Chain A
Amino acid sequence: MSMSRTDAARRRAQPRNLRQANAARAQAYSRFVSAMKVGLAVTALGLIGALLFMSGTFDGPDELDITFSEVSSRTDDLRMVSPRISDVDEKGQPYTMNATSAVQDADNPALIHLENVEGDLVSESQTSWTAVTSNKGLLNTDEEWIDLEDNVQLFTDDGFRFQGKLVRVNLDTGDISSDQQVYAQGPEGTAEGGGLRVTESGDRVTLINGAKIVIFNAGGSSGEGLFGPTGK
């Protein structure tokens, strides 16, 4: 009983070309179904592949495809606020170093990046002191030095003031050095040099690589000049 008596009757009643059209439509539909079976399967595979690819499964270890202009590779998981370093140098002279923040270097734990540094060094005879400030600092706790950078200012108790860009302070010996241009101003005059060396706790100050000094009033109050009296 594959086809009911009514269907058979209906087919005998249809004209020949209508039967052909139906057959063609049935074939087209079955082809469509076959194509869909393959197409849908391929689409599904494609989607899964895209998902895996986009999720970075096939990427290298940690290659993030992010463009950037500058990134500081500083880890900030160990940030000290208002750190204060107090110690004595090889002669037992005390020094203190304050900053607004300190961050340990990611690659070298002996290096500490400091911000807004202020330091005080006292002379051996306790009669003079030197104060140092800068916007940035790099402290090496192993070798006991600190590089002061960016607007470095150095003051001594008898009114001298030095300015520089990059100055190294040896925290063990108390010596200060710079191989960049420095400017100095004191009660008696001004000075500039291509570099600076401060040794013996500030007692010996040397300008190197060319020095220019201007002494405002060498003759003192009694009116003599460096080489002679006023007029002839």
Chain B
Amino acid sequence: QDGSGDGFTNDPGEPIEVISDKAEWVRSENVAIFTGKVDAIQGTMRLRADKVWVYYVERTKDETKKAEDVPEGFEGEEEPGPGPGQSITKIDAKGNVIITDDEDQTANGDWALYDVKVRKIYMGDTVVLTQGENVIRGQKLEMNLDTGQTVVDAGASGASGTQGGRVRSLFVPADNNGSEGGAQ
């Protein structure tokens, strides 16, 4: 199911503010780990989760790093790694992940993985994508930040939250205020 909404975007010039119970850097592994009610905001974009790992590389060194845990079902994708001149290479969020922006769009999932190089956000397990009153439920989500295209996949049949391998969507026409619209 494609969502042709504007997609999640923001102003990269804005600083990113991350608030959490605990923040830890492991300098030899170039990773910062945020634990406990993590709330990361950049401009209009916001990510909340129980735990977030931010992997980065020195800007001078163009290290390529093999992806340790490409989400299941996305093995075919190009391995995440640093784009030229990037600082952050990958952001891994786990536990009650909510991505929102200021246009009333939200994406919920159990985990989320943002690969800076290929500019995609993968989310998984009981994914719910909303825009206003429109709702799409599935098992996996892939958000392409270049095209703004979001693909929701039902994943294995009978997965929880879906009707046996199907994506469930609810679109409410803009001019119809009250009545339920449904699409299978």
Contacts and interface: CB of A to CB of B under 8 A. Distances in A.
A213 B86 contact: no
B23 to A, nearest CB: 4
Given A205-B27, A227-B114, A230-B11, A211 B87 contact: no
A214 interface: yes
Interface string B31-51: 010100000101101010000
Given A219-B86, A229-B146, A207 B22 contact: yes
Contact of A217 (B87, B99, B145): B87
Contact of A226 (B21, B45, B146, B148): B45
A228 B25 contact: no
Nearest to A205: B25
Contacts of A83: none
Interface in A195-209: 202-209
A222 B85 contact: yes
Contacts of B8: 227-228
B119 interface: yes
Interface stretch (B12-20, B65-73, B125-133, B156-164): B12-20
A225 B45 contact: yes
A230 B146 CA distance: 10
Interface of A: 125, 128, 158, 188-189, 191, 193, 202-232
B88 interface: yes
B47 A227 contact: yes
Given A219-B86, A219-B88, A227-B10, 14 more contacts: A125-B28, A188-B87, A204-B25, A209-B21, A210-B20, A211-B21, A213-B19, A214-B17, A215-B15, A215-B16, A218-B12, A228-B45, A230-B12, A232-B7
Interface string B47-64: 100000000100100000
A224 B26 CA distance: 24
Interface of B: 6-28, 32, 34, 40, 42-43, 45, 47, 56, 59, 83-88, 91, 99, 114, 116, 119, 121, 145-146, 148
7 closest cross-chain pairs (CB), A and B: A225-B12, A211-B23, A219-B12, A228-B9, A220-B86, A228-B145, A221-B85
Contacts of B148: 232
Given A215-B18, A231-B9, A221 B59 contact: yes
Contacts of B9: 225, 227-232
Contact of A224 (B27, B45, B47, B86): B86
B100 to A, nearest CB: 11
Contacts of A220: 59, 83, 85-88
Most buried by B among A204, A220, A227: A227
A226 B88 contact: yes
A107 B146 CA distance: 69
A128 B56 CA distance: 18
B182 to A, nearest CB: 29
B14 A225 contact: yes
Contacts of A158: 27
A228 B11 CA distance: 8
A205 B17 contact: no
A217 B116 CA distance: 14
25 contacts: A188-B87, A203-B27, A204-B26, A205-B25, A206-B22, A207-B23, A207-B24, A211-B21, A211-B22, A214-B15, A214-B17, A215-B15, A217-B13, A217-B87, A218-B16, A224-B86, A224-B119, A225-B42, A226-B12, A226-B91, A227-B45, A228-B8, A230-B11, A230-B13, A231-B9
